[in-house]
């Protein structure tokens, strides 16, 4: 069975459900502490996941201190070797701060996750939005390769989720779009709240050039099962959620499962 490493920094808080989500898709998962460098190095995992949370209390900037932890050298090396690496929420912030995504100059910070921009409010926002895969993402990204072209609902919970880039780099960003926010029917978002944080180009997930590293703000590990979908969700997933039998409610995957199924598919799990 392929193995994934979930890396816990001080202040991470989604490591358990993230490991559960991986196992659920047939990928063995183990949680490593930030200082388990030797153990992680020996393990040579097949994939790496940086879970959500508030690593190092978001001191200075979300993700910036974790990105400079020694354990990230190992993740960096593995990413450069083409191993799949996923950062969810705070994990995405760490990936941006480590220069792995967008990765134009690996190791140098080329983009940022800035504070949410929303009309009349600041700070944290929790809720469900809709997502779809970027144009090249399904081919390129091991975390999205099982995704269809339809939109899926997904939960978000963050205060700094707005992807921003230098103006001179904007022309290059398009090729890195892993996931975008969208309307229920997959159409471009009509502002807030469909794009919940003001992210440029409606980006919800950003890849490196090769596509093996994905930094995403939504939380697929919280929408693993159909029963986790809110009953008032619009569209296809909402209909499924409201009208399923008890058996289906328990056994059917939720919309977020596809992220982990993609990895399993990529790693050859039947």
Active site residues: 89, 219, 221
Query: Which of residues 16 and 104 has its CB atom nearest to another protein in the complex?
Result: 16
**DSSP-assigned letters across all residues of 166-232:** -GGGHHHHGGGEEEEEE-TTSPPP-STTTSSS--GGGEEEEE-SSS-EEEESS-GGGS-BGGGS-TT
Q: For the chain, what percentages of helix, strand and coil (3-state, to nearest 5) are there?
A: 35, 25, 45
Which contacts (CB < 8 Å, 24+ apart) does range 38-43 have?
Answer: 40/5, 40/7, 40/71, 40/74, 41/74, 43/3, 43/5
Residue 258 Cβ, how far from another protein at the closest point, in Å? 16
Least distance from C-beta 161 to another protein, angstroms?
13
How far apart, in whole angstroms, are the C-alpha atoms of residue 56 and residue 32?
16
- Please say which residue, 42 or 270, places its beta carbon nearer to another protein: 42
Min. distance of Cβ 139 from another protein in angstroms?
29
Catalog residues that contact another protein under the rule CB under 8 A. Answer: 8, 10-11, 13-14, 16-17, 20-21, 33, 35, 52-54, 56-57, 119-127, 155, 157, 219, 221-222, 224, 227-228, 230-232, 234, 242-243, 246, 249-250
Minimum Å gap between C-beta 4 and another protein is 16
Instruction: Report the residue number, 10 or 175, with the smaller CB distance to another protein.
Output: 10
Which residue number, 32 or 165, has a Cβ lying nearer to another protein?
32
């Amino acid at each position: 069975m392929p193995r994934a490493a979930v890396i816990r920094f001080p202040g991470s808080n989604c490591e358990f459900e993230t490991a559960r989500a991986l196992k659920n898709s047939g990928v063995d998962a183990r949680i490593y502490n930030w200082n388990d460098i030797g153990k992680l190095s020996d393990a040579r995992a097949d994939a790496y996941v940086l879970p959500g949370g508030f690593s190092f209390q978001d001191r200075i900037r979300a993700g910036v201190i974790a990105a400079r932890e020694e354990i990230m050298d190992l993740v960096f090396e593995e990413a450069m070797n083409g191993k799949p690496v996923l950062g969810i929420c705070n994990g995405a912030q760490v990936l941006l701060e480590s220069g792995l995504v967008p990765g134009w100059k690996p190791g140098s910070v080329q983009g940022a996750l800035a504070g949410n921009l929303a009309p009349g409010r600041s700070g944290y926002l929790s809720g469900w939005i809709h997502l779809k895969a970027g144009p090249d993402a399904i081919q390129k990204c091991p975390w999205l390769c099982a995704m269809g072209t339809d939109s899926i609902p997904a939960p978000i919970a963050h205060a700094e989720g707005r992807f921003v880039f230098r103006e001179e780099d904007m022309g290059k960003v398009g090729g890195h779009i892993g996931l975008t926010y969208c309307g229920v029917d997959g159409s471009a978002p009509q502002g807030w709240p469909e794009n919940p944080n003001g992210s440029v180009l409606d980006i919800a997930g950003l890849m490196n050039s090769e596509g093996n590293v994905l930094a995403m703000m939504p939380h697929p590990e919280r929408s693993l099962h159909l029963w986790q979908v809110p009953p008032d969700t619009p569209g296809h997933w909402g209909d499924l959620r409201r009208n399923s039998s008890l058996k289906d409610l328990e056994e059917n995957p939720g919309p977020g499962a596809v992220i982990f199924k993609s990895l399993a598919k990529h790693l050859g799990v039947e």
